Copies of this chain bind each other. A is one copy, B any other.
Amino acid sequence: MRKIYHLAVEATLDIIRGKWKLRILCHLGNGPLRTGELRRLMPGISQKMLTQSLKDLENAHIVNRRSYNEVPPRVEYSLTERGMSLRNILLEMSDWGTALVKEQQEEGDDVKILNTNDDGFRNMGNEDK
């Protein structure tokens, strides 16, 4: 099945499409994580969406999936080189978004960003509320 984009930007957006992929990438930016760890870092995500999102990212060679043949099963995910390069773009989008929200707040809009770390996308770290 052929994928057709009207603009190159759409190819980039296609990678991070959906509700959870960004946050997954954000967490993986701090280093490899197991499935269960990702799950705990993102309360609210369903098993289905986690698996599905990770599979999409793996197919796009953004994350690496490493499966250890152990009992119980153990699977680790990490960023690929391509994933790391995407991170740079996301950092710029993060900066722009931060500035935008600040302006919107000054304009009186009722908007908020939960993760207000200084380094934005670089290090999410803290928990979701």
Contact = CB atoms under 8 A, between A and B. Distances in A.
Interface residues of A, number: 46
A100 B59 CA distance: 13
Main secondary structure, interface of A, reads: helix
Given A7-B121, A8-B121, A22-B10, A86 B96 contact: yes
Interface stretch (A32-40, A50-58, A110-118): A110-118
Given A2-B112, A92-B92, A93-B89, A22 B8 contact: no
Contact of A114 (B4, B92, B97): B4
A71 interface: no
Interface string A88-129: 011011111110110100010111111100001100100010
A25 to B, nearest CB: 9
Q: Give the oligomeric copy count.
A: 2
Given A92-B92, A93-B13, A101 B22 contact: no
Contacts of A26: 7
Contacts of A95: 8
